[in-house]
Structure 1
């Protein structure tokens, strides 16, 4: 009996121990789960804090300009070419016979005046070689404009020939007549098409020594210009040189042109190529050399008179071409600066057409210039008077295209104040 009681006690004690062990295990497991839950909570909070810090740092970088932004950066510019007011030479080859080389130009190669099915007027077709313009004394402040067409096979496999334009001194056909001729002062730029872009580079010489050679400016998508008219504009003000292609500014160089260079002739060089002449087509036309003006605004304010052929109108129209309103802008600046300034705008035409029609056209052109001052530059219309004189007051003979261009002009006259 005692033995049975003893065994029962042992079993009961064992059961208690097992139960206690089981409870201890449950307790430990619960503690472990709790610990893991707390750890996860801490890790989640830390991760959240880290993400928040990263987001704040990214936002700070973006705000400070050191990180990426959701909006793209853009820049705005303007076409600020202002053509010279006094025409020195104008040539669109209208006076030359088709199939012939222009009488005023020179070459030691081959060239001929042609018409094109995609562009108006006459064009000088260039072939590999050198071409020289008439001599023209352009001075130290001048502008030059012309149109260029370059055409080659789209699927061709050869290098496309480059074309160079150079203004040089002592022009008197010397560069054409002699291979030993050496340029003293020269300002040239070249266009070298390559695949889809065009590389443009400018070089200048002063007293036979190279003054400047620029880096190559690369015009993107130049292949889209193939077969189309490219408008070239050049402005030189003493040493400063600016060049535009289709209103894209290629160069703005403060010290590029040779000082006292006496540049007076334009030379065009077309490189040779493995393409045949029938596969290529390089053409130039609509040359306009003009004397530049340092500051038309000052001229109007100080002398009381400004005369310009730089405001161009559509043919037989009073519409002002938008890319040639630089002079109007300067007049507006003068009137903004001097709020008491009142002016008279006088329009002039060449002698082509009936006098009555020219008088009406010149009046409307003067009114168009006034309207530009009023609408675009917010000048009070009461400060502006207009008049048209047609072809009654020419400044030169009307027998050539150059003379007609000079006679098609606009005058700005400062009106005297009466106190």
Structure 2
């Protein structure tokens, strides 16, 4: 019996000893880990302080290539110019709050509302399609509208895409009917995902798909949530350019269907798992206007660009307006080819003294040159100026309209 008791005591003592040993090893291991962890943290802090002078977000691996790129600068300009002749404007100011606008069409639900952080009235969209009033857009046009997309940044669902598209043969709400047969269409999709948005354009010409672009990704789109995003579109025959908040997302020379005859805009809001009180898409301030031809192509291919849209004060070289943005277009051409040279030639009507008109035309050409140099940083060596006064008219001066045609500026490629 005593042997059994002593044996049991030894077993218990051995078990206790093993437990104490494991605990000691655990404490020692923890202490070593703390020491190592402290060393690692110190090394991380040291490494962090060493890289503090580098651009944030640049890793050691690409830091050297970043240094090599520091001498490379990329510049661009916002060269959208709104058309001067308004074809359709709608800010829903004539519509009652809480009602669907009278001039628009839908098979879904929409209502005119006011917002606490944006002026004016807005059409709130719900999942479905919405069609604008009929308007003949033409082969040269500009289209603008404001868009607000609002959703919970901390939400866990996919945000629905917002689409807008131009159609031909539109007749009120017929585009939404099942009897409508697609012929020519230009569709743009804005699909938010996480912090960015993917923008894609698809074009159809005579039913067949003409082009489908790659997805252009707008970075930091989540920062635009709840704020106004200005959408600007320029159509010049087959060429289309699209901007979101002055960021050009597309400049496609052959995307618009030939002889498209677009006459209606359709908006689409996708469905979502978000509830209506969590999600809000709003549009307003629509402006359709007649645009101008592609001035850049004229100068590059034809070697000459002539315009009466640069308006001067009477008997003065002061530029009052450049309603079609010709100077900006010429600046874009010159900036794209620093070796290119042009001659700017001023012309006047025949009112007044011929010698006075000759001097005035030269001063007006100089005024255009000065804007290119001072406002658009074009090299002075790329530009020559001349004035012809009233000696080279393009129309008789039997009417004020013809006189305006003679008051023009030429850009000639040298």
Distance 1:262 1:108, change over 3 A: same
Residues 160 and 320 (structure 1 numbering): CA distance in 2 closer, same or farther, change over 3 Å? farther
Deviations 1:145-175 (A, max 9, x none): 1110000011111111111100000010354
* Contact 2:92–2:123 (Cα < 8 Å) also in 1: yes
Tell me which residue corresponds to 2:292. 293
Indicate the SS of the match to 1:224.
helix
Aligned mates of 2:211, 2:111 — CA distance in 1: 34
TM-score by length of 1: 0.60
Within the candidate set 387, 401, 414, 2:407 is matched to 414
Q: TM-score, normalised by structure 2?
A: 0.60
1:241-280 equivalence runs, <5 A: 241-280=240-279
- Aligned position for 1:341: 346
SS at match of 1:341: strand
Q: Closer, same or farther in 2 for the Cα pair 1:127/1:210, shift >3 Å?
A: same
1:194–1:374 distance in 2 versus 1, CA, 3 Å:
closer
Q: Distance in 2 between matches of 1:305 and 1:373?
A: 17
Q: CA deviation at 1:326?
A: 2.7
Q: Which residue does 2:362 correspond to in 1?
A: none
SS at match of 2:181: coil
In structure 2, C-alpha distance between the alignment counterparts of 1:343 and 1:116, rounded to whole Å: 50
What CA distance in whole angstroms lies between the structure 2 residues aligned with 1:119 and 1:370? 39
Deviations 1:108-152 (A, max 9, x none): 111111111111111111111100001111111111111100000
Name the SS of the counterpart of 1:188 in structure 2: strand
Does residue 190 (structure 1) correspond to residue 189 (structure 2)? The answer is: yes
- 2:214 corresponds in structure 1 to 215
Q: Give me the whole-angstrom Cα distance separating, in 2, the residues matched to 1:282 and 1:145.
A: 17
Q: Take 1:238 and 1:76, find their aligned partners in 2: how far apart are those partners? A: 27
Shift, 1:203, TM fit: 0.6
User: Is 2:139–2:235's contact at 8 Å kept on the other side of the alignment?
Assistant: yes
CA deviations on 1:369-400 (whole Å, 9 max, x unpaired) are 99978963799xxx9xxxxxxxxxxxxxxxxx
Mapping of residues 50-65 of structure 1, within 5 Å: none
**Counterpart Cα distance in 1 of 2:213 and 2:91:** 31
How many residues are matched?
288
C-alpha separation in 2, matches of 1:276 and 1:130: 18
Give the aligned partner of residue 167 of structure 1: 166
Residues 261 and 103 of structure 1: is their aligned pair in 2 closer, same or farther, counting only changes over 3 Å?
Answer: same
Alpha-carbon distance in 2 for matches of 1:69, 1:331: 33
Conservation of the 8 A alpha-carbon contact between 2:184 and 2:260: yes
In structure 2, the residue matched to 1:306 is 309
Does structure 1 conserve the Cα–Cα contact (< 8 Å) formed by 2:162 and 2:267?
yes
Distance (Å, rounded) in 1 between the aligned partners of 2:276 and 2:136 = 34
Q: Return the alpha-carbon distance in structure 2 between the equivalents of residues 331 and 414 of structure 1.
A: 19
Q: 1:239: which partner in 2? A: 238
Question: 1:341, CA displacement in angstroms?
Answer: 1.6
Q: Using a 3 Å threshold, how does the CA distance of structure 1 residues 372 and 160 change in structure 2: closer, same or farther?
A: same
1:130–1:176 Cα contact (<8 Å) kept: no
Greater shift in the superposed pair: 171-180 or 135-144: 171-180
Deviations 1:248-268 (A, max 9, x none): 111111211111111110000
